[in-house]
């Protein structure tokens, strides 16, 4: 697993990397509504909110409720955090114009995803050629990788199209990192309206972008230098 600590690669370094602009654009031609799979509430927004707003429809598979985001919180129990994050997801989808999306709550424990069970559950939601947007199998977070692997199996079984979005790789990785499949990268350019919609959707997650309280255990999970990576004018998926 990767160390997800410190400042990581800055957004300035990513934006200065020429290769980004040579990656092919992803043609936005899904055969119907895609399925977006999120290990934790907010992954789908950080990764592909702009894409979802451009497509105008999506169903969500929420693998966990993200109850382990603040293990030592002095403010909220795990149950309370789960409820808060479920509500935040609903708010974010509404902000994106996707308030009518079907949300499949799969109820896996945060930090303890059952990969075999999840592969079966996702296969039941997929169909040939349907887009399956999911965290990248190499993202460096155990839940993100388990979810990516389960989705890859479900796509292989059903003939759905696997499109993986990195989240934490933008932190630990760096331009030209040989451990990242840059040759599979596809760019989704976000017009101003889609960028604004994504920004508003991210703001729907106060439990993650702001401290829950003054104690160190209640610190923001997504501080400004992390959020900067998700304010860029494009998104990236691995085809
Ligand atoms: Zn996550």
Q: Token digits for 155?
A: 């796509």
Please check the confidence at residue 3 and state whether its pLDDT lies above 70: no
Give distance in angstroms: CA of 69 to centre of ligand 1.
9
Distance 208 CA to ligand 1 centre (A): 11
Residues of the chain above pLDDT 70, percent: 98
CA of 73 to the centre of ligand 1 (A): 18
Collapse the DSSP code of 103 into the 3-class scheme (helix H, G, I; strand E, B; otherwise coil) and give the result.
Answer: strand
Residues with CB under 5 A from ligand 1 (ion): 39-40, 43
- Token readout for 43 is 């992954």
CB 133 within 8 A of CB 34: yes
For 21, 33, 144, 161, the CA distances from 15, given in Å and listed in that order, are 9, 31, 24, 28
Distance 32 CA to ligand 1 centre (A): 26
pLDDT at 192: 97
> Cα angle at 113 between 112 and 116, to 5 degrees?
135
Distance 70 CA to ligand 1 centre (A): 13
Q: What separation in Å is there between the alpha carbon of 145 and the centre of ligand 1?
A: 10
Question: How far is the centre of ligand 1, averaged over its atoms, from the C-alpha of 167 (Å)?
Answer: 8
pLDDT average, residue stretch 164-171: 97
What is the tens place of the pLDDT at every residue in 183-229?
A: 999 999 999 999 999 999 999 999 999 999 999 999 998 888 899 99
Q: Sorting pLDDT into bands at 50, 70 and 90, what band is 34? A: very high
CA of 139 to the centre of ligand 1 (A): 10
Mean pLDDT of the 53-74 span: 94
Residue 42 CA to ligand 1 center (angstroms) comes to 7
Work out whether the CA dihedral 138, 142, 144, 145 comes out positive or negative: positive
SS3 readout for 13-76:
HHHCCHHHHHCCECCCCCCCCCEEEECCCCHHHHHHHHHHHHHCCCEEEEEECCCCCCCCCCCC
3-state SS class at 192: helix
Six token digits for residue 117: 């069970």
Rounded Cα distance, 239 and 234, in Å:
16
Q: What is the whole-number distance in angstroms between the Cα of residue 209 and the centre of ligand 1?
A: 13
């Amino acid at each position: 697993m990767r160390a997800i600590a410190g400042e990581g690669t800055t957004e300035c370094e990513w934006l200065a990397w020429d290769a980004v602009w040579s990656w092919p654009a992803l043609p936005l031609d899904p055969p119907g509504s895609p399925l977006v799979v999120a290990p934790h509430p907010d992954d789908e927004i950080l990764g592909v909110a702009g894409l979802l707003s451009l497509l105008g429809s999506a169903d969500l598979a929420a693998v966990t409720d993200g109850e382990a985001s603040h293990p030592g919180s002095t403010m909220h129990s795990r149950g309370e955090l789960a409820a808060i994050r479920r509500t935040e997801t609903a708010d974010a989808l509404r902000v994106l114009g996707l308030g009518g999306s079907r949300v499949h709550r799969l109820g896996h424990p945060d930090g303890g995803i059952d990969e075999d069970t999840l592969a079966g559950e996702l296969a039941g939601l997929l169909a040939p050629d349907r887009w399956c947007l999911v965290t990248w199998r190499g993202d460096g977070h155990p839940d993100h990788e388990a979810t990516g692997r389960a989705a890859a199996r479900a796509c292989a079984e059903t003939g759905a199209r696997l499109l993986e979005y990195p989240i934490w790789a933008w932190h630990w990785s760096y331009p030209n990192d040989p451990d990242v499949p840059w040759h599979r990268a596809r760019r989704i350019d976000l017009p101003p309206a889609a960028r604004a919609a994504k920004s508003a959707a991210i703001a729907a997650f106060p439990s993650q972008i702001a401290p829950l309280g003054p104690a160190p255990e209640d610190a923001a999970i997504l501080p400004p230098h992390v959020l900067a990576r998700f304010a860029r004018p494009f998104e990236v998926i691995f085809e």
